[in-house]
A and B are shown apart, each in its own frame.
Chain A
């Protein structure tokens, strides 16, 4: 009976089902229904690709000073698509090079702060007791310091460089993650599968990283996305105030540093980098929101 079947007929339903299979993952489907999140994901991808690939293709490098062409408004010259700054440097080129730095700071600071936050949260949630209490009270204490004040106070002591700024931002933004992870782990360790893992003789590290952590991954992913947004914003704040990424290395924040001086004559110097920050941060926030809805359907629409 089976060999007699027409192979084409058997394949047909599979073929028809194929396009739908791509979105069988309910989380992915919910994410794609979240239009703003899809917009955010597209914008971030496009922005990252542009920042990485486009600068060498542009007619002017970001450091080329064309003093005669300074303060060219956007669209004022065919050579400088987005105009030039006070030294005649090409704005588009500078914006994309600055994007490399700002996005790199955002991603790296997020990775480091996630490692710190997840480890602290895991240990505090798993061991609880004195160790857990001390760790979480430390988190509470760190959260009492307004972030910009803390960032500026420490950055005044250190030699500003891209890597020190990344570390600094990471060290001041891991606390929320620690809180989230601690709450998750605290609840998860009461579940039966943790007991089962204990019963088969699994060690603490194995239970923490192989059993508990994978089950808490959804809120961690959401927190990570929002953390990138926070880190980009934090970098822009301290760079704007003059204690972050130092010129001539451009970042979206330090491009705004002296833009206030030229606000009257050259408003695009202030508007363009700020718009890039707003676009990048909004996109990451949209993605985070979409991921939250996608990974935790109970929270949808809240």
Chain B
């Protein structure tokens, strides 16, 4: 296990370096580079721009700038926002809670609902339920999240008036019931794609396990079907889903951005969009790097958990 752990950690570290290089390149190779927000006004002369470039250290060779940038990033100095001079990392962390709350809730919904659909679909393969679930999953991943969000708002907020159309809580009402009420619609919207993906992988994983020898052995031993299903099949079928949960992270983050925009949810995605509107590049780059690192860590943790849960993996 320790060799596996070390190798996996080393891979993640290498990947982190490449990710940081890609992020740095996007910032610097984009037309205008980090200076573009100064040049955009048109009031600055070339001499002014040169001076700013020198002050910001932008006249030095790129590898030197990259090394320095990386060193600052590693120390937690992610720069300061152009808008209010707050440290970038501080701003991101302040908005992280709302996003995590949304992502966690919708992941729980997706896991519960998706597993149930996947298991039932695999047990009754090619039944009406299975076909409907297949078509439904295909449609669910094809619908734009923002559109589904608009339809949910139109139906549940505008027409029926059951759910609030946005925000995390009603101003002046801090009760958890109120927060929960506000959480329902956005987490439902965000969970749609994950539920569909989860159900497909769960079904596929169930079908893999059902054909294994040990299921046949269990059946020939005379173990009741229910017990085979839950103790043998589902338990083993859930193992590869740990990886899927890790792989879902980028999709989930992208979905969160859109969902937060529609439901005026004060999370990281909305902060990202606001920062783009204000041309607040340090925050934009900070969030871009932050999400990439989050995805990287997510897949690392998923792999390690999979290794812990399934002893067969550690040998590979």
B31 at the interface (CB under 8 A from A): yes
Q: Which residues of A contact B135 (CB under 8 A)?
A: 36
B150 touches A274 (CB 8 A): yes
- With an 8 A cutoff between CB atoms, is B144 at the interface? yes
Max count, chain B CB within 10 A of own CB: residue among A141, A150, A270, A274: A141
Task: Tell which of B52-60, B168-176, B291-299 binds the partner.
Answer: B291-299
* B276 x A243 contact (CB < 8 A): yes
- B144 engages A278 (CB within 8 Å): yes
Which of A36, A240, A243, A264 interacts with B138 by CB under 8 Å?
Answer: A36
Contact between chains at A141 and B276 (CB < 8 Å): no
* Given known A233-B142, A285-B138, contact A260–B287 (CB-CB < 8 A): no
Is residue B262 within 8 Å, beta carbon to beta carbon, of the partner chain? yes
A144 and B288 in contact (CB under 8 A), knowing A282-B142, A301-B125? no
Residue of A152, A158, A236 touching B30 (CB-CB under 8 A): A158
Q: A146, A229, A237, A241: which contacts B253 (Cβ < 8 A)?
A: A146
With an 8 A cutoff between CB atoms, is B26 at the interface? yes
Determine whether the beta carbon of A146 is less than 8 Å from that of B158: no
- Cβ–Cβ < 8 Å partners of B273 in chain A: 152, 241
Q: Is the CB of A270 within 8 A of B291?
A: no
Who on chain A is nearest to B32 by CB?
A: A157
In the complex, A243→B151 CA distance in Å?
22
The answer for the CA separation of A181 and B18 in the assembled complex, in Å, is 22
Chain B residues in 8 Å Cβ range of A144:
15, 19, 250, 292-293, 295-296
**Chain A interface residue count, Cβ-Cβ cutoff 8 angstroms:** 47
| CA–CA, A1 and B154, complex, Å | 80
Residues on B with beta carbons closer than 8 Å to the beta carbon of A146: 249-251, 253-254, 257, 291-292, 295
Which among B146, B261, B272, B292 is the interface contact of A145 at CB below 8 angstroms?
B292
Q: Given A152-B272, A157-B31, A243-B276, are A147 and B144 neighbors across the interface (CB < 8 Å)? A: no
Q: Hey, what's the 0/1 contact readout for B1-28 against A, CB within 8 Å counting as 1?
A: 0000000000000110011011100100
Contact pick for A156, options B257, B276, B296, CB 8 Å: B276
CB distance from A42 to the nearest CB of B (A): 16
- Once the chains bind, are A143 and B250 in contact (CB under 8 Å)? yes
Q: Is the interface of A mostly helix, strand, loop or mixed?
A: helix
CB-CB under 8 A from A240, the residues of chain B are 144, 146, 258
- A256-B250 CB under 8 A given contacts A148-B258, A149-B287: no
**A103, B70: Cα distance in complex, Å:** 41
What's the Cα separation between A214 and B251 when bound, in Å?
32
- The answer, among B22, B150, B296, for a CB contact under 8 Å with A263, is B150
B230 part of interface (Cβ distance < 8 Å) = no
Output the least CB separation between A21 and chain B (Å). Answer: 30
Q: Which residues of B contact A296 (CB under 8 A)?
A: none
Q: Which of A143-179 contact B (CB under 8 A)?
A: 143-150, 152-154, 156-158
Q: Which of chain A's residues has its CB closest to B22's CB?
A: A141
Partner of A150, one of B143, B154, B262, B288: B288
- Hey, which chain B residues are within 8 Å of A263, CB to CB? 150, 153-154, 158
Q: Which of A140, A147, A153, A264 contacts B285 (CB 8 A)?
A: A153
B139 touches A282 (CB 8 A): yes
Q: Give the residues in chain B near A138, CB-CB below 8 Å.
A: 18, 22
Residues of B within 8 A of A289 (CB): 138
What CA separation (Å) do A147 and B279 show in the bound complex?
Answer: 20
A142 at the interface (CB under 8 A from B): yes
B207 touches A302 (CB 8 A): yes
Contact code string B21-44 (vs A, CB < 8 Å = 1, else 0): 111001000111000100000000
Q: Does A109 contact B (CB under 8 A)?
A: no
Q: How far apart sit A156 and B31, CA to CA, in the bound complex (Å)?
A: 10
Question: Does any Cβ of B come within 8 Å of A137's Cβ?
Answer: yes
Shortest Cβ distance from A267 into chain B, in angstroms? 5
CB distance from B145 to the nearest CB of A (A): 8
Contact B142 A237 (CB under 8 A): no
Given the known interface contacts A148-B257, A153-B285, the answer about A229 and B146 at a Cβ–Cβ threshold of 8 Å is no
Query: Closest chain A residue to B299 by CB distance?
Result: A144
Complex interface: chain A residues within 8 A of B279 (CB): 156
Does B105 touch A at the CB level, under 8 Å? Answer: no
Q: For the complex of A and B, list the 4 residue pairs with the smallest distance between their C-beta atoms, beginning with the closest.
A: A274-B147, A157-B30, A148-B254, A281-B142
Name 13 A/B residue pairs within 8 A (Cβ), A-sorted.
Answer: A144-B295, A146-B257, A147-B254, A157-B32, A158-B30, A237-B258, A241-B273, A263-B154, A271-B151, A277-B144, A277-B147, A285-B138, A302-B204
